[in-house]
Amino acid sequence: MFSKLNIYLLKNFIYTFFIIFILITLLVLFSDLIEQFRKATNKNVPIEIIFKLAILNIPSLSFTTLPIVIFFSTIICYLKLIRNSEYIVMGSSGMSSLQLAKAPILIFFLISIFFVLIVNPISAVFQKEFQELDYKHIKRMDRMTSVSKNGIWLMQENQSGITNIIYAKNIKDEGATLINFMLLEYDQDNDFKGRIDGKEAKLANSKWLMYDVLYTKDEDKPKFYSYLEYSASINREDIKNSLSAPEMMSFIQLGSFIYILEKLGYSANDYKVYFYNIVFMPLTIIGLVLLATTIIVDIKQNDKYAKVVIFSFLIIFIYFFTSNLMSALGENSKVNPLISSLITPLMIFIMSFGINKYKKLIRKS
C-alpha cells in the first residue's frame, strides 16, 4: 500500500501529465493541420477533409510523443515540488530520490501500458481511415497492394486502358519477382478481357518478364508461352510503398502480419522495428522517469532552472536522434530489429546511471 505522501505525489504527477499532454497534443495537432493544408495545396481538397485528416492522425501522434510528454511532466512536477520546498522536505525526512521516484514510475508505467493496450489499437483504426482519405484526396491513387495469408494481390493500370489484377502465392526481391502468379485483364468498363497463369514473373524496365505462362484472351483457346513480355506500370517502390503502413495495425495484429510478409518473401524489418518499439515503450518510459529523477537531484529551491531545462531538451534531442537512427538501421537490416529497438531504452538507463554516479562523485569532492 502507498503512504499518504506517495498518494499526494501521484496526484501531482497525474495533474502535471494531463496539462503537458494537452498542451503538446494541441501543439502537434496545429502543426499537423498546417502540414495537411500544405499537402492539399492546389488539389481542391474540401476543408472538412483536411480537418478530418488532422483529427484522425491525433492518436498516432500522441502515441509517438508520449515519451517526451512523460519526461517533461516528470521534470516539471519535480521542479514545482522543489520550488514549494516540498521535495526538499521529503528528502530531508530520510527518503531517497529512488523512493520518491516510486510514485512517478508507477503512474507513468501504468499510463504507458494503457497507451500500448488501448490507445495503440484505437490509433490503428484511425490510421486506417486516415490512410484511405490520404490516398483518395491527397495522393489521388488507389492502394495497389494487398497482403493475405494465401498470397499477395497487386493492381496496375496500363497505358492501353487495361486494368490488371495480379495474384501471386509467393514473391521474391521485395515484390519484384512473382512466383505461381495469375494476372487478370479488365477494360475501362470493367469487362473481363483475359487471363495469364504462370510460374514466374520478374519486374524489369517497365515490363513483366513472364516464364512458362498460359495466356487466355477473351474467349480464345489458351496459348502456352515459355517466355512473354507484358507491360508494367508499377515498380518495386510502388509495391512496397502501397503496403499497409505499420501504424495501421495494432501491435497485436503486427505479429501475424510480419509472419505473412516473411512467408511471402518480403523483408518485414520496418514492421518488426515498429512492433518492438511498442513492446519496449514501458521500459523506455521507466528509463526516462529515472533519468528525469537523476537530473533534478541536488537542485535547490533558489537555484536557476534554466540549466535544467536546457539539459532536458538536450536529453530529448539525444533520445529522438538515437531512436530514429536505430530505427533506420533496423529497417535497413544494418542492425537486428530487436537489438536496434533495445539500444535506446538501454542507453537511457546507462545515461541515468552515469549522471547519478557523476553527481555522487561531485558531492564527495
Query: What pLDDT, in 10s, does the model give residues 170-180?
Result: 877 767 788 89
* Band of pLDDT at residue 30, cut at 50, 70 and 90: very high
pLDDT on residue 242: 60
pLDDT on residue 338: 93
* pLDDT over 70 at 139, yes or no: no
* pLDDT over 60 at 1, yes or no: no
> Does 280 or 145 have the greater pLDDT score?
280
* pLDDT over 90 at 145, yes or no: no
Can you tell me the distance from the alpha carbon of 228 to that of 135, in angstroms, rounded to the nearest whole number? 33
pLDDT on residue 71: 95
Can you tell me the distance from the alpha carbon of 294 to that of 27, in angstroms, rounded to the nearest whole number? 28
pLDDT on residue 349: 94
3-class DSSP assignment, residue 101: coil
pLDDT on residue 238: 67
- Nearest-CA neighbor of 355 among 308, 300, 323? 308
* pLDDT over 80 at 59, yes or no: yes
> Does 166 or 89 have the greater pLDDT score?
166
pLDDT on residue 141: 54
CA angle 125, 126, 128 (to 5 degrees): 65
Mean pLDDT, residues 270-280 taken together? 92
CB atoms within 10 A of CB 145: 18
The answer to whether 32 touches 55, Cβ cutoff 8 Å, is no
pLDDT on residue 358: 80
The backbone region for 212, taken as left when phi is positive above 0, alpha when psi lies in -120 to 50, beta otherwise, is left
Percent of the chain, pLDDT > 90? 37
Mean pLDDT, residues 97-108 taken together? 83
* pLDDT over 90 at 325, yes or no: yes
Distances (CA, A) of 63 to 30, 55, 76, 200, 205: 16, 14, 20, 42, 41
Mean pLDDT, residues 114-131 taken together? 90
Residues 244-268: pLDDT tens digits?
Answer: 678 888 888 888 888 877 776 677 8
* Residues contacting residue 37 through CB under 8 Å, at least 6 positions apart: 50
pLDDT on residue 279: 93
pLDDT on residue 142: 53
3-class DSSP assignment, residue 170: strand
Can you tell me the distance from the alpha carbon of 138 to that of 155, in angstroms, rounded to the nearest whole number? 19
Percent of the chain, pLDDT > 70? 90
Residue 58: phi and psi, rounded to 5, are -60, -50
Mean pLDDT, residues 79-108 taken together? 78
pLDDT on residue 241: 60
* Band of pLDDT at residue 159, cut at 50, 70 and 90: low
Residues 285-299: pLDDT tens digits?
Answer: 999 999 999 988 777
Residue 215: phi and psi, rounded to 5, are -105, 115
